């Protein structure tokens, strides 16, 4: 088990939570000092909900305005102080040398794991990313099925694998297991796919499920199907009381899991 998974599972136990906070906040670029305001917002939300989450996910909505070694660095340091692992949702999907360069920068900035897209393949694709992660003792999570409706056009398409016609996401789930990834992402909006992926990986990898709340994913359906963690953003940070919302979601997940 990677250090990332150990850290994540420890936080899940300590905080009794299966919630990964998606800090995908944004503010209008027309506002004066919008970068400073954005950083202040995300740090405040993280501080409010820290006792009710197991980890944090960051994507380009924060990375681009705040800067990898500037505002993002401060956010990562905050999370580390709370004992929370931070995942970079970059969906890495390029040629090998570019992937390696990006991964090194993300890990140097302090990210505990990153999300990569298996569409790019292994040889001179994600092979270098996994190698760098091993060197840094960090984690790689593979994107198996996204939460938006258009995901069916790519991850849900049928492909020829060997001599069989299969769904693309089934092939990706098998790759995640074979490549020894640290988890997979499957949208909570498709519980039947969570169930199928869970069958393929056989409980060896955690399933991270985004899409609960604003996109229509349901906690009961996702976790009954086999989700391990819920990635939740707007339902928490856009609420009037993020702390209470995080607690409510955490409690509902725990009720489903028994």
State the catalytic residue, choosing from 57, 91, 137, 250. 91
The answer as to whether 27 is a domain residue is yes
pLDDT at site 29: 64
Number of neighbouring beta carbons within 10 Å of residue 205: 23
246 in a domain, yes or no?
Answer: yes
Q: Report if residue 211 sits inside a domain.
A: yes
Question: Comparing 33 with 206, which gets the higher pLDDT?
Answer: 206
**Total H helices, total E strands in the chain:** 11, 10
In a domain, 35, yes or no: yes
How many domains in the chain? 1
pLDDT value, residue 163: 84
CATH for 130: 3.20.20.70
* Mean pLDDT, all residues of the chain: 94
Distance CA 72, CA 65 (A): 9
Q: Is 179 inside a domain boundary?
A: no
Is 137 annotated in the active site?
A: no
| pLDDT single digits (tens) 71-119 | 999 999 999 999 999 999 999 999 999 999 999 999 999 999 999 999 9
The tens digit of pLDDT for each residue in 21-62 reads 999 987 766 667 889 989 999 999 999 999 999 999 999 999
The whole domain housing 31 covers 3-141+207-253
Residues 78, 166: Cα–Cα separation, whole Å: 43
pTM greater than the 0.85 cutoff = yes
What average pLDDT does this structure show over 196-211?
A: 95
Look at residue 60 and tell me if it is in a domain.
yes
Assess if residue 114 is contained within a domain. yes
Give a yes or no: residue 163 inside a domain.
no
């Amino acid at each position: 088990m990677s250090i990332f998974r150990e850290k994540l599972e420890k936080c899940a136990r300590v905080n009794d939570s299966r919630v990964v906070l998606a800090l995908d906040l944004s503010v209008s670029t027309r506002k004066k000092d919008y970068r400073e305001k954005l950083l202040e917002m995300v740090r405040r939300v993280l501080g409010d909900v820290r006792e009710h989450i197991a980890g944090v996910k960051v994507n380009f909505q924060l990375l681009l305005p705040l800067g990898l070694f500037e505002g993002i660095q401060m956010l990562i340091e905050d999370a580390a102080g709370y004992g929370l692992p931070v995942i970079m949702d970059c969906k890495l999907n390029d040629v090998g040398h570019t992937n390696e360069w990006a991964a090194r920068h993300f890990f140097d900035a302090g990210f505990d794991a990153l999300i990569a897209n298996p569409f790019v393949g292994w040889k001179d694709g994600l092979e270098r990313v996994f190698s760098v992660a091993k060197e840094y003792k960090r984690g790689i999570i593979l994107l198996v099925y996204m939460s938006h409706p258009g995901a069916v056009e790519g991850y849900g398409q049928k492909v020829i694998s060997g001599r069989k016609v299969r769904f693309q996401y089934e092939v990706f789930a098998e790759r995640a297991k074979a490549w020894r990834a640290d988890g997979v992402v499957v949208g909570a909006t498709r519980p039947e796919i969570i169930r199928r992926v869970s069958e393929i990986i056989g409980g060896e990898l955690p399933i991270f499920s985004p899409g609960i709340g604003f996109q229509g994913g349901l906690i009961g359906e996702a976790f009954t199907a086999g989700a391990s963690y819920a990635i939740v953003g707007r339902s928490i940070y856009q609420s009037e009381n993020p702390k209470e919302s995080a607690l409510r979601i955490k409690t509902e997940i725990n009720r489903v899991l028994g």
